[in-house]
């Protein structure tokens, strides 16, 4: 088995706790979850420094997939050279074969406080009939214990530091909501599953998960009263079943935004997003930081209203649901996280 060295969790700065660290890890277990999902468990002593305050929820990380026959690049070393420029730009400047591929994933489970720290990451195996797909899917399909990769994720010490900023790898923040809507296709299943597991008993609502095949349905434990509905896509258009389910669950006229004593009367058309040229990523945190005024309840900050929605997946599907919920239903934009994880026909932007 490949040994994990002490370079696995080095700081990017010597005088402050960095929010992000590079962790050299190895595969410790592989589990097939269904027709299209594979859980890869990563371990390494350096993971004792991995984590955030509280539940992981929809915690995102970067996974560096090495090129075939090559070692994983030394990201920690690039981070130590950060005074020469962004480590990411340094990584991009490497030869393509040397740097490998970078992809974003959600941490499904984290067990980093014990003697053998580990994290679980669920990979969706988007492969054609010949077993060909993207670099991460091909790597995950062939992964075996001992295979080495690099994970870029949160520094647990910074998460406990009162003066540190927040790690920007999670959006799931229901706040005071009593009713939630969670919706996404297969790439969002790990995040929705983790959010559901964290919800308390008093929260209700709906969770819709569209997956390629009924064999991809999974058991999710939740203390909440949220109704979990799995949707098998089969030969249908990607996102079609998900879109219909959300529209059926949250109908016009929309009661969810509480826009005054008369109830919601619909909202305004949200700004268009060119999903072919940019990433659709609109969250309550970003709207608040940009001082974008919502057309509904502008005096109320994010997280203070009874309804919250978290929607992620293919960008065109997310954009359609964004228009429906904001314009037609009248949902307060500060109460919804809209995230276009990927764009059909295009590789992920690292």
Enumerate domains of the chain plus CATH numbers.
6-159 (2.40.30.10), 179-342 (3.40.50.80)
Q: Which residues pair with 119 in a beta bridge?
A: 42, 110
How far is 98 from 305, CA to CA, in rounded Å? 48
CA dihedral 139, 81, 5, 17 (to 10 degrees): -100
For residue 247, what is the enclosing H or E element?
helix 240-249
Q: Give yes or no for residue 13 having a pLDDT over 70.
A: no
Pairing of strands 20-32, 101-111: unpaired
CA dihedral 86, 88, 92, 97 (to 10 degrees): 130
Other C-beta atoms closer than 10 Å to the C-beta of 197 total 17
Q: What is the DSSP letter of 325?
A: I
276-305 tens-digit pLDDT: 777 778 888 777 766 555 556 777 777 788
Q: Give yes or no for residue 55 having a pLDDT over 90.
A: no
Pairing of strands 60-65, 204-211: unpaired
In terms of Cα–Cα distance, which of 228, 230, 205 is closest to 309? Answer: 205
Angle, to 10 degrees, between the axis of helix 315-323 and the axis of helix 240-249? Answer: 20
Alpha carbon of residue 347 to chain centroid: 17
pTM: 0.87
Yes or no: say if 223 and 201 are a contact pair by the CB < 8 Å rule.
yes
Angle, alpha carbons 91-49-289 (nearest 5°): 65
Q: Give yes or no for residue 155 having a pLDDT over 80.
A: yes
Handedness of CA 327, 331, 337, 341 (dihedral sign): negative
Instruction: Say how many Å lie between the first and final Cα of the chain, rounded.
Output: 29
Q: For the residues 63-77, what does the mean pLDDT come to?
A: 92
Which tokens in the block code for residue 116? Answer: 């053998």
Q: Give yes or no for residue 344 having a pLDDT over 80.
A: no
Share of the chain above pLDDT 70, in %: 83
pLDDT band for 92, please (50, 70, 90 cuts).
Answer: very high
Q: Which residues contact 221 (CB under 8 A, 6 or more apart)?
A: 196, 197
Q: Which of 78-82, 85-89, 293-297, 339-343 has the lowest mean pLDDT?
A: 293-297
Yes or no: say if 285 and 302 are a contact pair by the CB < 8 Å rule.
yes
Q: Which of 16-25, 122-131, 219-228, 338-347 has the lowest mean pLDDT?
A: 338-347
How far is 103 from 88, CA to CA, in rounded Å? 13
Share of the chain above pLDDT 90, in %: 57
Q: Which of 37-46, 55-64, 222-231, 254-263 has the lowest mean pLDDT?
A: 254-263
Alpha carbon of residue 89 to chain centroid: 23
Q: For the residues 29-41, what does the mean pLDDT come to?
A: 96
100/257: higher pLDDT: 100
pLDDT band for 271, please (50, 70, 90 cuts).
Answer: confident
Q: Give yes or no for residue 6 having a pLDDT over 50.
A: no
In terms of Cα–Cα distance, which of 241, 182, 179, 186 is closest to 218? Answer: 186
How far is 347 from 103, CA to CA, in rounded Å? 10
Yes or no: say if 182 and 338 are a contact pair by the CB < 8 Å rule.
no
């Amino acid at each position: 088995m490949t040994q994990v060295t002490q370079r696995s969790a080095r700081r990017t700065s010597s005088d402050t706790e960095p929010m992000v660290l590079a962790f050299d890890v190895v595969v410790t277990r592989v589990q097939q979850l269904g027709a299209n999902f594979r859980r890869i468990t990563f371990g390494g002593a350096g993971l004792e420094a991995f984590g955030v305050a509280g539940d992981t929820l929809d915690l995102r990380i970067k996974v560096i997939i090495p090129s075939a026959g090559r070692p994983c690049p030394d990201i920690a070393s690039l981070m130590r050279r950060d005074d020469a420029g962004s480590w990411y730009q340094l990584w991009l400047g490497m030869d393509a074969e040397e740097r490998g591929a970078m992809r974003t994933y959600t941490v499904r489970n984290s067990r980093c406080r014990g003697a053998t720290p580990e994290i679980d990451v669920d990979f969706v195996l988007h492969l054609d009939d010949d077993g060909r797909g993207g670099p991460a899917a091909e790597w995950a399909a062939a992964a075996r214990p001992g295979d080495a990769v690099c994970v870029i994720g949160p520094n647990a010490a910074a998460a406990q530091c009162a003066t540190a900023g927040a790690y920007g790898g999670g959006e799931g923040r229901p706040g005071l909501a009593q009713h939630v809507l969670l919706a996404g296709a297969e790439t969002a299943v790990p995040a929705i599953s983790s959010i559901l597991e964290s919800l308390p008993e008093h929260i209700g609502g709906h969770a819709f998960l569209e997956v390629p095949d009924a064999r991809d349905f999974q058991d999710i434990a939740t203390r909440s009263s949220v109704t979990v509905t799995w949707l098998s896509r089969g030969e249908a258009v990607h996102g079609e079943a998900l879109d219909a389910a959300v529209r059926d669950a949250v109908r016009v006229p929309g009661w969810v935004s509480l826009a005054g004593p008369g109830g919601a009367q619909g909202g305004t058309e949200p700004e268009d997003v060119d999903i072919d040229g940019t990433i659709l990523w609109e969250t309550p945190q970003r709207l608040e930081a940009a001082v974008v005024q919502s057309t509904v309840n502008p005096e109320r900050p994010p997280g203070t209203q009874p309804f919250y929605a978290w929607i992620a997946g293919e960008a065109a599907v997310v954009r359609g649901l964004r228009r429906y919920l904001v314009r037609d239903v009248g949902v307060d934009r500060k109460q919804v996280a809209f995230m276009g994880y990927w764009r059909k026909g295009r590789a992920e932007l690292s």
